Amino acid sequence: MASEFPDDDDNAGLVAKGRTGDNAEPLTISEISQALKRTVEDRFGFVRLRGELSGVKRAASGHLYCALKDEKAVLDGVMWRGQADRLPFRPEDGLEVVASGKLTTYPGRSKYQIVIERMELAGEGALLALLEKTRARLQAEGLFAAERKQPLPFLPRTIGVVTSPTGAVIRDILHRLADRFPSRVIVWPVLVQGQGAAEQVAGAVRGFSALPEGHPDRPDLVIVARGGGSIEDLWSFNEEVVVRAIADCPIPTISAVGHETDTTLADYAADRRAPTPTAAAEMAVPVRAELAATLKDFAARKERAILRPVQLGRERLEARAERLPSPETLLQPQAQRLDELAEKLRRGLTDSVARGRERLQSDRARLNAPLLRSRIDQAQQRLSAVARLMVSLDPDNVLKRGYVRVTGPDGRTLTDKAAAAKEAALMLKFRDGDLAVATGGAPAPRPARTAPKKGTPPKQDDLFG
């Protein structure tokens, strides 16, 4: 190939010189770089490129840097912070995307790149691939672990619902709750698809979680609900911000997003997944009529349980009573014994009467009148002798003959001089009365006399000392 420059001796010159017919001055690097930049931007002011993301990183400034590649070429790309913040998904290496923007050059490194203004996943396959990558990453963090799941309350008094306030979902939930067990419902209205929907859903869940214990509006259960739709329609519930908000919620949560065949990452993070919003309402509360029937059945079972021992006891008592002997059988030995004792008594009385009659007949000879009168005369003679002895032994009878009985102040008869000398005063008992005489001596101490018991006559002094 022939050279564009003439092959003459000036080409090998040491110092640059102007050429014949050439009136253009040499360009600087910056000048050629700017010229290239204008050429590229004018020619490729808007392009849509399809490729696989590689080397994705987010700078501290918020700008997104990456590369788009296919099997033969690589093109650097940059997405400024404003556009990067509005991305509906999180760019990751390996995702196939369609990037829209303009080509430009970067003179600092002598390369060209695309300034991305819009980025979309290249088809549903790419979307599913992103979903699987996000699921695997969050699962590795333990956000979907079974031990994180909380049991649902049996009968929540307040239910918080995060959904669109104008859709059919909230009407279905309220209708189903009214049919089963009317409950207090607090709706936190949010967008359920489109730009900003994920942030609103996450904010609602965190808002319910932030209510303090005991707050009248703090729900006992949270339902995150949305109707059916395509994977793009439900994508907000696959966003990491929503998944983390649900996983961190201290209130038991039910995810009811889409239809039975739809599955989102919110379903994995929630404590329970409901196939539909209506099914979520059925999970939330029991059927009041069934509860009433259950309580009635429990009451009947309790009554039967209480009465069963009584019934069993009655049956056992009746069975044992049937095995007991009749009263006549029980009393028969005693009746026979009574008859024997009565017969013995009769015979004993008869024998006693007979023996008494025999003794009476044997003593009849000793019971004649002369013998009885002789015994009476003997008894009277013995009584008269005792009476005469009592008169003769009475110490006061001798007083009639001029004798005097001397006693101390205590009434004790004094029989000798020494005893009388010890008394301060003496009592002289005459026939016709008593006379007190002072001796002038100190009274001798005497032992205390015990008072005679009531009804006991005083002891008589011995006349014979």
Q: Tell me: the pLDDT tens digits for 92-137?
A: 888 888 899 999 888 877 788 899 998 888 777 777 878 888 899 9
Cβ neighbors of 28 (< 8 A, separation 6 or more) are none
Whether the predicted pLDDT of 446 surpasses 60: no
Question: Which of 278, 235, 272, 265 is closest to 251 using CA atoms?
Answer: 272
Q: What is the mean pLDDT of residues 8-22?
A: 59
Question: Which of 402, 405, 386, 399 is closest to 461 using CA atoms?
Answer: 405
Q: Tell me: the pLDDT tens digits for 196-208?
A: 899 999 999 999 9
Q: Which domains does the chain have, with CATH numbers?
A: 29-122 (2.40.50.140), 144-286 (3.40.50.261), 397-438 (no CATH)
Q: Yes or no: say if 118 and 69 are a contact pair by the CB < 8 Å rule.
A: no
* Average pLDDT of the chain to the nearest whole number: 83
196: phi then psi, degrees, rounded to nearest 5? 85, -5
* Lowest-confidence segment of 10-24, 185-199, 206-220, 395-409 by average pLDDT: 10-24
How many Å apart are CA 83 and CA 77, to the nearest integer? 13
Beta pairing partners, 225: 256
Cβ neighbors of 234 (< 8 A, separation 6 or more) are 193, 226, 257, 258, 262, 264
pLDDT in the model for residue 19: 65
Residue 176, Cα to own-chain centre: how many angstroms? 31
Q: Yes or no: say if 137 and 240 are a contact pair by the CB < 8 Å rule.
A: no
Percent of the residues in the chain that have a pLDDT greater than 70, as a whole number: 88
How many Å apart are CA 217 and CA 133, to the nearest integer? 37
Q: Which amino acid belongs to residue 378?
A: Q
